[in-house]
Amino acid sequence: MTYNLAGKTALVTGGTRGIGAAIVERLAAEGVKTAFTYVSNQAAAESLASRLGAGAIAIQADAADPAQSKAAVEKTIEAFGHIDILVHNAGIFRTGPITEFDFDAYRQQTAVNVDAVYAGTHAAVPNIPEGGRIIVISSVNAKRMPFEGFAAYGATKAAVTALVKGWARDLGSRNILVNAIQPGPVDTDLNPAAGPFFEPVSGMTALKRYGKPTEVANMAAFLASDEASFITGAAIDVDGGLAL
């Protein structure tokens, strides 16, 4: 299915690989002018932008730094004039039990997974027109803890899902729709289906498999479209039935 998104503009954080790259590619295929951020892999970012053509731009920004999150928004505004679709995908995944996961590690994960979402949204909202979209890539771990050591990561994802619900109220009068996508296990270079976690994790899903990045990107494209015009404040699981 395709959606009528031609002429829209977007900013996708963490857009050079995995779910982020799939979202960038899907939006670009829908005719969306798309800016995306990367931290350090300039070659991969430039390769993706070049492949997608003149409507795509890569912006170096470390999500752990609120000033850089704001600067990425400003560079997108400079390039496109406004942001119709803001997708927060940048995040880090680190686990460990409370006895081993120290406060610095907790704060680093919170800085990327929560603070960057807040800082980027705060900077972007004045430049999001009526009818705009904010989409946050959360996680099914916002509500389900299948293994030991997931507390800190799950807490960051529960926090951004809560922000989504609050912002849906805050921005409803402007018809800006705010939603979270909560993926389950997805086949990426950070968590490959060929890796050691496949057997225990896929076995917990109803479909007995990992998802594909494109399956998450499909939901992002839907939420960005007019087809989702009465959906806001939702946390939508794309998890193969892991959270059943």
Burial string for 10-27 (b: 16+ CB within 10 Å, else e) reads bbbbbbbbbbbbbbbbbb
Structure tokens at 219: 């939901």
Confirm whether 38 is a catalytic residue: no
Structure tokens at 102: 């120290």
Contact indicator for 137, 183 with CB cutoff of 8 Å = yes
DSSP state of 58: E
Catalytically annotated residue among 38, 106, 153, 210 = 153
CA distance 228 to 211: 22
Structure tokens at 89: 């995908």
Contact indicator for 171, 235 with CB cutoff of 8 Å = no
CA distance 226 to 26: 16
Give the CA distances from residue 40 to residues 9, 46, 63, 104, in Å, rounded to whole numbers and listed in that order: 24, 11, 11, 22
Give the CA distances from residue 140 to residues 34, 196, 212, 240, in Å, rounded to whole numbers and listed in that order: 26, 20, 15, 11
- What are the catalytic residues? 153
